[in-house]
Amino acid sequence: MATEAAGEIKVGAKPTMHYVLATVIQFNQGIKRVHIKARGRAISKAVDAAQITVSRFLKDKVEIKDVKIGSEEVGEPGKTRTVSTIEIVLEQTEK
């Protein structure tokens, strides 16, 4: 059951390593796929977190399966602005 679930990590203002560890913990709990999401300036940090996870902590165990970029409207009605988004899908390589 647990191995079928997908996790989600929202990258924000905390240090990169916080999100790396949160991702590693989810995989160690048996989750098969983790979506790392970020908006705006946090996008660079999301890419860092994904890279550190797959190339250092979970090397050969987890791979980058997909990267999607998009945009979202944020802010209150009348003064919205558009921010870019990223979603990086990490998946276990082993069954």
The footprint of a second copy (CB under 8 A) covers 40-44, 47-48, 50-51, 55, 64, 67-71, 82, 84-86, 88
**In the sheet where 33-39 sits, what is the strand order?**
6-10, 33-39, 81-92, 62-74
Supply the minimum distance, in Å, between the C-beta of residue 48 and a second copy.
5
Supply the minimum distance, in Å, between the C-beta of residue 5 and a second copy.
24
Supply the minimum distance, in Å, between the C-beta of residue 25 and a second copy.
21
Quick one: 6 or 69, whose CB is closer to a second copy?
69
**Pairing of the two strands 33-39 and 6-10:** parallel
Quick one: 1 or 85, whose CB is closer to a second copy?
85
Task: Give dist(CA 86, CA 13) in Å, integer.
Answer: 15
Q: Compute the C-alpha angle 83/87/43, nearest 5°.
A: 50
